Structure 1
Amino acid sequence: MNVSLPTWHKGLPLAVVTLFILWLLPLATHASHIRAGDIQAKSDTTAARNPRRVFFKMVLYTKLPSRDVADQPNATIFFGDGTSTGIDKVQRVGNGTVIPSAPNTKVNVYYFEHIYNAPGQYLVSFVGEYRNKEVRNLSNPASQAFYLGTSITIDPALGINRSPVLTAPAIDQATANQVFLHSPGAYDADGDSLAFKLRPSKRASTPATIITRGGVVDTSTVPGFQYPNKYDTNGQRVAYLGTPAGGQADFQQDVNTGLIVWNAPSSQSIGEYNFAFVVEEWRRVAGARPRLIGTVIRDMQIVVGPSTNLRPEVTIPEDICVVAGTTVNGAITATDPDRNPVQLFAYGTFPPITFQQTATGPPTARGTFRWVTSCEDVRRDPYLFTFKAQDVPTGGNPPLIDEKIWRVRVIGPPPQTLQAQRQGNSTRVVLTWDRYQCTQASQMLIFRKENPSDFIPSDCQTGIPATAGYTQIGAIDAGLSSFLDDNNGQGLERGKTYCYRIYAVFPLPKGGESIASAEACVTLDGTSALLTNVTVDRTAANGQVTVKWTPPLNQAGFTEPAGYRLYRAPGQNVAATSTAFKRVFTTNSLMETTFVDAGRNTIDSAFTYKLEFFSRDNTSPNAAETRETTAPASSVRLSGRADEAASGNVLTWTYNVPWDNTRQPTTIYRRAPGSPTFTLLATVAGTATSGTYTDRGSAANPLVAGETYCYYVQTNGAYTSPNLPNLLNSSQEICVAPVPCRPILTLQTTNCDSLAANLYALPTTVIGPNQRYTNYLRWQLDANSPPNCNLAVTGYQVYYRSPDATEYQLLATTVEPNYVHMGLTTVSGCYQVRAVGSNGELSAFSNEACNDECQLFLLPNIFTPNNDGVNDTFRPKVTSSLRRTHFTAFNRWGVKVYEGDQDPFINWDGGGSSEERSSGPQLSDGMYFYLAEVEFNDLNRTKRTYKGWVQINR
């Protein structure tokens, strides 16, 4: 800056001239003036579409320039990759615009862009000098830098991305003793989900300092920051939306809408307040959790003034849901208790949405909202429109506002004219419908159920709820208009009615769905072959399972020769299309409907079967084979255990079958000790996929303590169509032995008190990286824990928890009632043991037994660092295992001469001023004092401090 002094300055003292120059300097440099602002970002939408190029728009709200208030014609931006625009290289658009509703304020707009070198996440920052001096909830605001930050993600996979846009001004007015409301009017053009969170106002170093540090922006909370309600402790809540009056004022922001509520400033709150909030931008990604791809930090200002004015009240329509293509008309009204005119504003709108105020009142201000929706507007989340009513008071009172948010959700129209037809005489169904009218949709989802549904979508219900009973069977491109249902190549079952619905889904990130189509049904004549039995005949390693089925009826579409193929897969929950199925039986006789599957390990495994009915047309050499496959059916799998709490044997069984096991009860059979046969024990209600029963014996036939009982169960199922009852299927047999007795564990521990009492007489501890310890464990079974437990065990499981762990891990298995745990780096640790019965039953865990390090530590009073290999370093004479030692040495005048914490055993060689220089300049011989802060390697990480002296003699 060049200052031309008038000629009369020559007669003035130099000090006066200097003061005059210093008084002028702030006018053109950094006088306090910045009120609020935010930064918006948008990826490259030009024809070149460079995914690493980003365009930015920054909006700042500043005080009007004056003699002691600077203007902000330029800005400095840091791009988060170590680069910047350079000092004041970004120019403002024009001279800024004065805001009538915010006295002494204008809005400044800056545009800039940047090309990043690589994908990644970057924080774009602005640092301005300085905040306006009138802010009350900051310390010395006129000397505090103003900080804004917007984070972006450079990722070509994201495509075009635009940051949230906050359409409401970042400065607003409040009045004492009345609720303050502010909605940022945020919207995201890409349909990303937004979340709002309050944050303290931030500051950073000056731009010049940041540049000298390589462009790294160091932010911190502005000193003295408090949220407005915490700064003004006199504020009291007033009655608002059901909240009663009274209690300390609160200051909150709705995480979903961004609405800020200060309820309420007091008459002591007159002044200006700043705070920040972050808008998080979450991108929904198919098949993954939502991803945070950007944030916008807005630092905003509230101006609280005194007033006798009462705020207006705005009325908006009820939240609605509309089908794309509907025209949304909304009437917005407002009244003012002081009968002042009211201005209406709409935020969060975008073309082609229009809002026009038609009357200001009194008595009533009116406005009209109009939006002709289209398929492009479909999305999962509702649109949020903020309507603000601001009165125009008289008598110099500041205007007051009321705000409300209207939620409008746009959903896809239902697909039209869905039809279902059988494909010839096959077991396939062809679905057709009109081409979907919304070309923006990505997929059409296909759903099927047996028999018609009474599901009718409500006005705003998209998709198909699980309660409707449908199962998704396909997903195709939304541009298609037909689908072939062949049940994944297995064919559908004849004799059943199949009903279908479809609906459209829209692509992420907006997402969204359509209303489901009307239902279309088709009935397949005839009856397919049906599996009826998968029953275990013999329980053994080479056991046996019998599989039975019924022949098909009405074989229209099937020609001779015909037959069956039976497939088997291990386990129970096996999909019909699984490659685990292997063919085990083929026959060309339709009357052969039983297969005995011998050599199966029914002790350890369950099995699932599916049947394929096939036919070939031998009259045509190119004719394809016709197939019809049943739904899979599994064997019944039974498990059991002795239950200490229930004082009995708990049985659990599972199955996965196409017939219904709920109509008839399931029967449980038991074989008592010494008996060769099973007898009926009980019946329980049948269930769809599993069952359970606890055998506690009875008064007439109690369970004998310590004895083993054997069981099997038999289910009784049925098909509805055709009527096939009494499908009896047995599980394998199991035997339940008593719970093994609980071990009582003892651990050989060290007598730390005795060692500590004889500390000076103990031999020198050998210190080295290969030092190892051993723990000795023994246990015995408690014959009464639980009562009647089994003493005949086959082995034990030993569990160990190290000092750094929170959970036990299996350490070893043994058949002996003892264990030696060797090779430990510390004796600290805890143990538990479980006994194992003959059938794999596990006892309860034993008591916990822990060993711990003693806290032994003794330093000598002399060492001789003369490199003769004897006593060359200062280290403990006696010590337990250590985690860390922070050692500091001082000379006789209290000056620190050495400090280190890398070696738990110190090993100081008498030189250096730090550990890194311990082999540097050697200290002179003499007496030194030390402070050793020791952390032991015991379970509690005990810390102790030792002080003393040591003599260095060379």
Structure 2
Amino acid sequence: MNLPLPNYIGRLLLVLLVNAVVLFGLTPAAQASHIRAGDIQAKSDTTANPNPRRVFFKMVLYQATNLVSNVDEKDVTIFFGDGTCTLQNGVPRFSKTQISPTVFRNIYYFEHTYNAPGQYTVSYIGENRNAQILNMTDPGNRTFYISTTITIDPALGVNRSPVLTAPAIDNASANQVFLHNPGAFDADGDSLSYELMPSQAANAVVVAVTDCTPRNAVVPGFVYPSAQSASPGGKQVSYSGTPPGVVGADAIFTVDSRTGQIVWNSPVRVGEFNVALVIKEWRRGVGRPRLVGTVIRDMQITVVPTNNRRPEITIPPDLCVVAGTPIPAQTITATDPDGQAIRLTAFGGIFPPATFVQNQTGPPQASGTFRWTPQCENVRSEPYQVLFRAEDQPAQSSQSLIDEKVMRITVVGPPPQNLQATLQPGSAIAVLNWDRYVCQNASQILIYRREGPSNWTPGPCETGIPADKGYTQIGAVSASTQAFRDDRNGQGLERGKTYCYRIYAVFPLPGGGASIASQETCVTLTGRSALLTNVTVDKTDATTGQITVKWTKPTSSAGFAQPYGYRLLRATGQSTAFTQVYTTGNLNDTVFVNGPINTLTTGYTYRLEFFSSSPTNTELKETAGPASSIFAQGTIGSDGRVALSWTHNVPWNNTLSPTVVFRKDAAGNFVQVATVTGTATGGSYTDPGPFVTGQPACYYVRTTGTYGTGLPTNLVNLSQQVCVQPVPCTPVLSLKATNCDSLSANLFNLPATTGNSQVYTNFLTWTLNTNLPPNCNREIAFYRIFFSPTQGGSYRQIDSVKVLSYAHRNLTTLAGCYQVQAVDASGQASARSNEVCNDNCLLFLLPNIFTPNGDGINDTFRPKVASPIRRTHFTVFNRWGVKIYESSADPLINWNGGGTANEGGRGPAVAEGMYYYQAEVEFADLKSTKKTFKGWVQINR
């Protein structure tokens, strides 16, 4: 209702007060307890000149009929999610309809234009719910919150939120299964998922009023309707649907995330219950589906007592239908255990033009007929859901009960018709033609090809072409196109082969969908093209390597007249950047030796062109290949085993015969060490050895290929030789540690610590573990030394040496950890050695007398012996326990007998005599050990 702003704010604030305040002479619950359920739906601008940031909305509210005039919601405030709202000018009600003795349905239409793309939550806050709700605290004084989240993105195009075709209020009967389905329909074909959610309220109405940004929260005291606190004693009853009832188990309240079917098995407490249902809208595209919208519907369920029993509905199984084909009349039936008449209804986005007509009400059986002829515009990936409901018709004193089930109907595109393939005269090009596709709303026609017939017939509703049928997509054209030329990407079709084709249509996103594939059509090219048969490495070298390429002589063809010849092209690796390396007009010349080239670190790919010039000087060309050399690579693992792999890209089949692996022995000869089954593009082998100590392990592989029956076979090709140097053996590191126990035992006899300038040295030695990893290389060029100041910390290299020892000198502390790594002459490094650590001893000895008289001898109190120290907190007390000195400035103390008037030992001199001290010492060891030392000291001046 369009109240003046101050009054509206007052009413919104009122519902937050713990102590009710009278407004217009009524308590809040009495004057505003009225909202039962509702939802908001949205769609983007579809006018003649659409604005992608303009959105149209429809809100449906369900209100109690026992209203007082000032809460009749003649106009409402909407929050648009961008910081704006309609506080000043409310949205007027479009219609008000009484749909039951206790319920009004109000409809509101409004629109909003956003300033920028983004995601926005459009929401409504009602002043109060109706007061009789049983599964929340003090419902009559709780606000009512619903929302719809939309995505403004030009890339999405037109987007419409789901339309909920079933009302948001429903009745249930005690001790009977309750069923409800929102009948959601998405006109764009987006996928929908469903979740339950606690009913929501405005968390901060004050903020909503002042800056138009409401915040929602769970209604205080909310529990789901099946909770024992809301419906004590609720138990499940027999139910054959999903989930099946477990008789006697605690009641459940669930939603099917795919169909939206809500099941409460079963209510027991009579009264009203509310719950929120979340419908999420997912847009398909490249990658994972994208969440583009969310509708939060708050619905109300009224449980009434009854002795009535639920009817049972029977529907046909899910269907798949080709667009343009009428669905055979589907019969829906229902029976009632109490012998009552039944009303059958159907919900879904396809009504109209789909129809459902009830023929019989029963008893003994009610029946109805569903009919629909889906059109091309109905093709999409997601099935359509049709909700069928049976509601019995008991005496007026009893509550009617329902059963409902969902039928899913998938609509696919019809197959393209009359696909024909012919050869273009005088060429190696196939021309495809087909009838104009009947569904011109399709986005593309996809063209697929394979070699040889498939003998595959698509199923009645099987769309597209399965990957296992051997087809490859070779093109795509618009839905209005009726022809396609296949020249095999400019290479021409190969003579002697049969090429078979199918096409099918795909439909635009977001709905997507596809058609059934066309019938297969084939074309055969007579004669035989030249075929590459060998690309084998004769010599492995970085500069003088050699590869031999061989091919077959093509058969004659009327289209290929003299002059004709061969061109051989080469690309580095398996790239497509070809350059010509050889040409000849002699058709009997079918071998080319390519060298000198680098075959040690590079593989090569070849393509052959058989060409001739026609009388019009237009060149005809057949292409063979590409075919690559076999390129092998090897690495050695930490376990000492060699991992060998190889790759190739060839037009023949290397998988029917084993690939043979050869390794060089101690005498320098290659011997067979393994046979493996390769793949279409290569293979791998792990060699456990044994290997020749100190020598690299060298390999090559041999493949044997075939083109198949009636074509060249026994095509033997060799890879280049690849050598793998074993990694260096891993060092075993030792460190000469300090004997702290011995030093502690002789503490009084140790030389005096000279101060912070004390330096230390750590001595390291190591050996090689010649079995780690197995077959490791013992020929070491040098060793790297690594250091970390803390155990398990980050290491840095500090030096390298060629010998098996190292002295780390001029250290201020012995604490630290080391690792060593061996490196061979080729630069290969071993694993790092074990970690060894040294640590400082925890030595600390203070004298019991000093003479601070300025003669330069024993003028300060400091440790006689001390390990490296990070910090010392030193405190001195006189004989009466009074603290006379305290300092942490010097780790070695260096107290000159002064008081604490000045930190650093410069206070007034204390008198001669005995004093007591406490030294809290933090040592500079790996663990930063802390110890406290107490004692006495005599000062003589």
TM-score bracket for the superposition, by shorter chain length: 0.7 to 0.9
- Output one character per residue of 1:789-810: Cα deviation in whole Å (capped at 9) or x when no partner: 333356889999999x99x999
Deviation at 1:877, TM superposition (A): 7.4
Deviation at residue 289 of structure 1 after TM alignment: 3.7
- Do the aligned partners of 1:386 and 1:404 also contact (CA within 8 Å) in 2? yes
Letter of the structure 1 residue corresponding to residue 776 of structure 2: C
Q: Does 1:562 align with 2:564?
A: yes
Q: Please point out which of 623, 630, 633 is paired with 1:636.
A: 630
Cα pair 1:541 1:599 within 8 Å, conserved: no
Q: 2:369 maps to which residue?
A: 368
**1:257 corresponding residue in structure 2:** 259
Q: 1:786 is matched with which residue: 769, 773, 777?
A: 773
* Alpha carbons of structure 1 residues 142 and 354: separation in structure 2 relative to 1, 3 Å: same
Alignment map for 1:95-494 (pairs within 5 Å): 96-100=96-100, 104-205=102-203, 209-212=207-210, 214-232=211-229, 234-240=233-239, 241=241, 242=244, 244-265=246-267, 267=268, 269-285=269-285, 287-328=286-327, 329-349=329-349, 350-394=351-395, 396-494=397-495
How far apart are the structure 1 equivalents of 2:108 and 2:284? Answer: 31
The answer (yes or no) to whether the contact 1:30–1:129 under 8 Å persists in 2 is: no
Q: Distance in 2 between matches of 1:52 and 1:820?
A: 74
Which residue of the other structure, out of 667, 675, 688, is the alignment partner of 2:660? 667
Deviation by residue 1:549-571 (Cα, 9 ceiling, x = unmatched): 11211232112222222222222
Distance 2:806 2:373 in 1: 79
Unaligned runs of 5+ in 1: 3-18, 755-761, 766-774, 822-827, 862-874, 880-938, 941-954
CA–CA separation in structure 2 for the residues paired with 1:403 and 1:176 = 18
In structure 2, list runs of 5 or more residues that go unmatched.
5-19, 744-752, 757-761, 809-814, 840-867, 876-886, 892-925, 928-941
Partners of 2:284 and 2:479 in 1: how far apart?
20
Instruction: Return closer, same or farther for 1:250/1:830 CA change in 2, 3 Å cut-off.
Output: farther
Aligned letter for 2:619?
E
Counterpart-to-counterpart distance in 1, 2:589 and 2:796: 52
Displacement after TM superposition at 1:696 (Å): 4.5
For residue 277 of structure 1, give the secondary structure of its aligned residue in structure 2: strand
The code of the aligned residue for 2:773 comes to P
Q: Can you list the C-alpha shifts for 1:278-302, whole angstroms capped at 9, x where unaligned?
A: 21222223x4443322211111122
1:534 deviates by 0.8
Asked if the contact 2:678–2:684 (Cα under 8 Å) also holds between the matched residues in 1, the reply is: no
Distance 2:377 2:805 in 1: 73
SS state of the match for residue 230, structure 1?
Answer: coil
Which SS does the other structure have where 1:24 is aligned? coil
Q: Distance in 2 between matches of 1:394 and 1:750?
A: 100
Percent of aligned pairs with the same amino acid: 54
How much does 1:643 deviate?
A: 5.2
d(CA) in 2 for partners of 1:548 and 1:747? 63
Quote the offset at 1:415 in angstroms.
0.6
Report the Cα offset of residue 467 of structure 1.
Answer: 0.8
Work out the CA distance in 2 between the residues paired with 1:436 and 1:361. 46
Cα deviation for residue 722 of structure 1 reads: 4.4
Query: Within 2, Cα distance between the matches of 1:725 and 1:460?
Result: 42
Q: Is the 8 A contact 1:249 1:264 kept in 2?
A: yes
Work out whether 1:625 is the aligned partner of 2:619: yes
Shift of 1:26: 4.4
**Corresponding position of 2:880:** none
Distance 1:394 1:454, change over 3 A: same
Q: 1:86 corresponds to which letter in structure 2?
A: L
Whether 1:719 and 2:712 are equivalent positions in the alignment is no
**What is the rounded CA distance, in whole Å, between the counterparts of 2:526 and 2:816 in structure 1?**
71
SS at match of 2:227: helix
Deviation at 1:841, TM superposition (A): 6.3
Q: TM-score, normalised by structure 1?
A: 0.77
Instruction: Note if 1:734 corresponds to 2:718.
Output: no
> 2:289 and 2:116 mapped to 1: Cα distance?
23
Which residue type is aligned with residue 72 of structure 1?
A: E
Q: 2:646 aligns with which of 649, 653, 661?
A: 653
Q: Contact 2:442/2:505 (CA < 8 Å) preserved in 1?
A: yes
Please report how far the alpha carbon of residue 495 of structure 1 lies from its aligned counterpart in structure 2 after TM superposition: 0.4
Evaluate the alpha carbon distance shift between residue 860 and residue 594 of structure 1 in structure 2; reply closer, same or farther with a 3 A threshold.
Answer: farther
Look up the match of 1:64.
65
Counterpart secondary structure, 1:157: helix
SS in 2 for 1:177: coil
Assess, with a 3 A threshold, how the Cα gap between structure 1 residues 425 and 253 changes in structure 2: closer, same or farther: same
Aligned-residue offset at 1:588: 2.7
The change in CA–CA distance for 1:130 and 1:445 in structure 2 (over 3 A counts) is same
Q: Write the letter of the residue equivalent to 1:467.
A: D
Q: CA separation of 1:706/1:229 partners in 2, compared to 1, >3 Å: closer, same or farther? A: farther
Contact 1:183 1:260 survives alignment (8 Å): yes
1:729/1:273 CA distance change after superposition, 3 Å: same
How far off its partner does 1:628 sit?
Answer: 1.2
* Inter-partner Cα distance in structure 2 for 1:447 and 1:855: 79
Native 8 Å contact 2:207 2:213 kept in 1: no
Distance, in Å, in 1 between the alignment partners of 2:68 and 2:521 is 78
Question: Secondary structure of the residue that 1:632 maps to in structure 2?
Answer: strand
1:315-357 alpha-carbon deviations (Å, 9 max, x no partner)? 1111010000111232111111122222222121332112222
CA contact (8 A) 1:27 1:70 kept: no
Query: What is the aligned partner in structure 2 of residue 946 from structure 1?
Result: none
The CA distance in 1 between the partners of 2:321 and 2:335, in whole Å, is: 28
In the TM superposition, what whole-angstrom CA distance separates every residue of 1:516-539 from its partner, at most 9, and x where no partner exists?
Answer: 000001100111111111111111
Q: CA deviation at 1:605?
A: 2.0
Residue number in structure 2 paired with 1:583: 580
Aligned to 2:670: 678
Contact 1:33-1:69 at 8 Å conserved across structures: no
Quick one: distance in 2 between partners of 1:477 and 1:810?
A: 62
Aligned to 1:710: 698
- 1:457, CA displacement in angstroms? 0.6
User: Aligned Cα RMSD in Å?
Assistant: 4.4
Take 1:292 and 1:387, find their aligned partners in 2: how far apart are those partners?
A: 28
For residues 474-517 of structure 1, the C-alpha deviation after alignment (integer angstroms, 9 at most, x for no partner) is: 11111111100000111111100000000011111111100000
CA separation of 1:425/1:720 partners in 2, compared to 1, >3 Å: closer, same or farther? farther
Q: Residues 484 and 839 of structure 1: is their aligned pair in 2 closer, same or farther, counting only changes over 3 Å?
A: farther
Aligned to 1:539: 540
Structure 1 match to 2:897? none
Q: Using structure 2 for the length normalisation, give the TM-score.
A: 0.78
Q: Is residue 464–residue 516 contact of structure 2 (8 Å, CA) maintained in 1?
A: yes
Q: Secondary structure at the match of 1:327?
A: coil
Give the conservation status (yes or no) of the 8 Å contact 1:65–1:71.
no
String of CA shifts for 1:356-380, please: whole Å, max 9, x gaps.
2222222112222111211111111
- The residue type paired with residue 278 of structure 1 is V
> Who is 1:931 aligned against?
none
647-656 or 132-141, larger mean C-alpha shift: 647-656
8 Å Cα contact 1:76/1:207 also seen in 2: no
C-alpha displacement at 1:785, in angstroms? Answer: 2.6
Once the two structures are superposed, what CA deviation does each residue of 1:443-468 show, in whole Å capped at 9, x if it has no partner? Answer: 01001011101211111100000111
1:63 deviates by: 1.3
